[in-house]
Chain A
Amino acid sequence: MKLEELRQIRERASKELSLRKGNARIKVVIGMGTSGIAAGARDVMAAFLDEISVRNLTDVVVTQTGERGLASSEPVVDVLITGEPKVSYGQMTADKARRVVVEHLVNGNAVTDFVIEVRG
């Protein structure tokens, strides 16, 4: 192994460790209470994770949170970007999730069609 090869391994392996870095710029929080899961939150989360990985976004973490009382709007997803107000999306689906990744996370424009709240 040469030094360049070592550095390639590092490149690849550090992506594996990205979850542990904890200084991501963007945080996607998926409501995974009972009603969220019943409304399809797991599919939404899978779509987020997949799209983020396909697009090779390294400064995004996906976490979950519990029930917050907006059962009719579930699945609910919050997008927190450092220095910007918190944007909440409601009645999410896998397709909507992919749009949020492209338009909001990558291009920086909230997908106003699904926004239920902007706060902060």
Chain B
Amino acid sequence: MKIDNSLPLEYSTGQNQINILGFWIFIGAEIMLFGTLFAAYFTLVDRTGNGPTGADIFEIAPLLIETFVLLTSSFTIGLAIHAMRLGKQKAMMTFFGITLLLGLVFLSVEIFEFNHFYHVGAGLQTSAFTAILLTTLGTHGAHVTFGLFWGLSIVLQVRKRGLTPETANKSFIFSLYWHFLDVVWIFIFSFIYLKGLM
């Protein structure tokens, strides 16, 4: 295995570079996944039938918490990668921990919100609108849930093995995933919530 010391650890081997490029290609496919969900959402947003509209069920308080929490977690995972490049494993672990904690807060608020939707009569089968709304939000939420377990296993692995080209590569790829989830949330926040509330 050839290690190039002029590059950050996560890029230091050929395998690592290919892994990162491969993950970008995966993100391309994810963009398309959310693209189709948004296309379906915009088509069905007015098909509310006898159910509520977006303006009836969206609430600003949970939305604000979710947005700021996820935005901050995207910042802290960026700081974690920065600390990793400085070789400061302890700081990196702290930032990773904060990120996962914020992810957990986001998920809790989202579950609370889904519960609220259900109680005001917006279930998965109420109307075409509520179905696509919950599918889109749920797909994003499922990604965050998966990310929490993935991030946790990376924390455990770095703690056990230290910073090696492999663990640094995995941590960096996780950070790409987490930032991507934040990007998706920005679009959900703007074109589902704010557009609905406008």
> Do A and B make up one complex?
no
Interface residue ranges, A against B (CB under 8 Å): none
